[in-house]
Amino acid sequence: MADAVLFAIDDRGVATITLNRPERLNAINMAMRDLLWEFLQACRDHPDVRAVCFRGEGRAFSAGADISEFGTAPSLLEARRARHERDVWGLMLSLPVPLVARMHGFCFGAGLELPLCCDVRVAEEGTQFALPEVTLGYIPSAGGTQTLPRTIPPGAAADLILTGEPVGTEEALRWGLITKAVPAAELDEAVEEELGRVLAEPFAPKPPRL
């Protein structure tokens, strides 16, 4: 069985982290969180890493958290402890290198919150973006209530958070949710262009926003 998250570093110093559960639309389970934590630590500690690119295999970047695992923790305290000990989103925000997200298909829930922790977001035209947690009776729990209104207009952020309704690339681009939207055939080229740009420019890390 293939690893649920793939990791590679190329000769430019670009670390690529790939969500690799295409059969589940890259729904993020605890095993994936653990791997993301491990690979992000490697990006933080490896002296040659100059940028990080996030991708998703298959039809979607990520459909969000794997709800089949909800309620399976031994206790609420254990679930909270795991989140505090492996704060994936806080670690992303603290990395001293630029982060680029390659987005396509569905970017729902944690599949949108992860790119919101990135500096550049490039999306395929037709991609759908949503924070649907409210429709399941809870709130975005990977920082979306903080990162989204700091990225797009507060009213638009409130609408996404409170309704759970998806928006497309036209609205996302107009609001600043994504940096660029391109046809599917041009997505990889556009991501490479953005990686080239961030590698060529001095990068001043932003302070953690959560």
Active-site positions?
Answer: 113, 133
Q: What CA–CA distance (Å, rounded) separates 69 from 202? A: 41
Contact 122, 101 (CB under 8 A): yes
Contact 179, 157 (CB under 8 A): no
Q: What CA–CA distance (Å, rounded) separates 115 from 99? A: 9
- Concatenating the DSSP letter of every residue in 173-209 gives HHHTSSSEEE-GGGHHHHHHHHHHHHHHS---PPPP-
End-to-end CA distance of the chain: 35
Q: Which one-letter amino acid corresponds to residue 205?
A: P
- CA 25 to mean position of chain CA atoms: 14
Collect all residues with Cβ–Cβ distance below 8 Å to 158 and sequence separation of at least 6: 149
